[in-house]
Amino acid sequence: MMFKWRWRFFRLFNLLWARVVKTIYEADGGLSSLSLRGSSSGIWNNLIRMLVNLIDRGIDLLSLCPIRVGDGVAMNFWHDKWLLDRPLATSFHRIYTLDNHKSATVRDRVSIG
């Protein structure tokens, strides 16, 4: 069930609930950093907490579900791990701080330049 929500989040990213999650947890829904936000309650926080507990036990299920870039609409340029083994914002932090389009998707970035 946990992966079904993850799949829906990245595939049906324009639905209201997905947009709310992106507003609270950044473009990747907090799934790259696995960081909790706000109060410790809530369905999405519970999902992230469950993933963290599994990783603590040596089970990294997210690594078994790679995200494909596709047309780039559902992939955040800076925050998703689409090119390297970590987000570009981490690898190229100085460039990231200068960027005016921090929430751009890969598709947006291609058109922006």
Each domain of the chain, given as residue ranges in start order, spans 1-65, 67-113
pLDDT of residue 5: 77
pTM: 0.52
pLDDT for 67 beyond 70: no
d(CA 51, CA 31): 9
- Give the whole-angstrom CA distance, residue 85 versus residue 104: 19
Question: Could you report the per-residue pLDDT of 23-38, keeping only the tens digit for each?
Answer: 877 766 777 666 666 5
Mean pLDDT of 91-110: 88
Average pLDDT over residues 13-26: 80
Output the pLDDT for position 98.
Answer: 93
Nearest to 34 by CA among 20, 50, 18: 50
Supply the DSSP symbol for 14.
Answer: T
Tell me what pLDDT residue 49 has.
Answer: 82
